[in-house]
A and B are shown apart, each in its own frame.
Chain A
């Protein structure tokens, strides 16, 4: 009964380092999303995918890249981390329906120093 699983849950990076956040879902959902949440700003969409092999930019895509090589996985990459990317990152997935619920992972707390 895993749902949406994010790896890692915590990470500290130095400025300029790179890393990849992994999101895995076992619900056979078509759509997957990456959000970041900062205090007082709500969740902001970074990138999303409407199916295997497809990705699209969200509201705040700069500094991030994504890939969806397999339907169940959505990877978020930071090529050269900056302190402004310190945030909590949430992955979500949903069925291909406007009225359906989005399920979220437990979040990744990233600090860039």
Chain B
């Protein structure tokens, strides 16, 4: 079983739509959680950290459910510039484990 599993998508949504997707992780002792964004053939960059209480950063909302071991990301009012692959990342003992990514395409 992979440590971090994501729905690969692709999610193809119109501008202004809301899109949401999850990932699950297998190690219940995981200590911190993140969403990274990766544009085609480029390096991953941090989108936001994920906290148990849930957190927002502009149009992005992340949730963590430790009991069920899943993390979610919701994007409101999608923009063309949100088209990317979103990587779910879990940290255990300073080792980051990455999901394979969820691809989102926002169309005009």
Contacts and interface: CB of A to CB of B under 8 A. Distances in A.
Interface of A: 31, 33, 35, 40-45, 48, 50, 58, 88, 90, 92, 94, 96, 98-99, 101-102, 104-107
Interface in B47-75: 49
A48 B91 CA distance: 13
B31 A43 contact: no
Contacts of A96: 94
The 8 closest A-B pairs by CB, nearest first: A42-B100, A104-B43, A43-B98, A42-B98, A101-B46, A98-B32, A98-B31, A99-B32
Contacts, number: 49
B97 interface: yes
A102 B96 contact: yes
A43 to B, nearest CB: 4
Contacts of B104: none
Contacts of B97: 45
Given A42-B87, A43-B87, A99-B49, A105 B43 contact: yes
Given A90-B43, A106-B43, A107-B42, A40 B98 contact: no
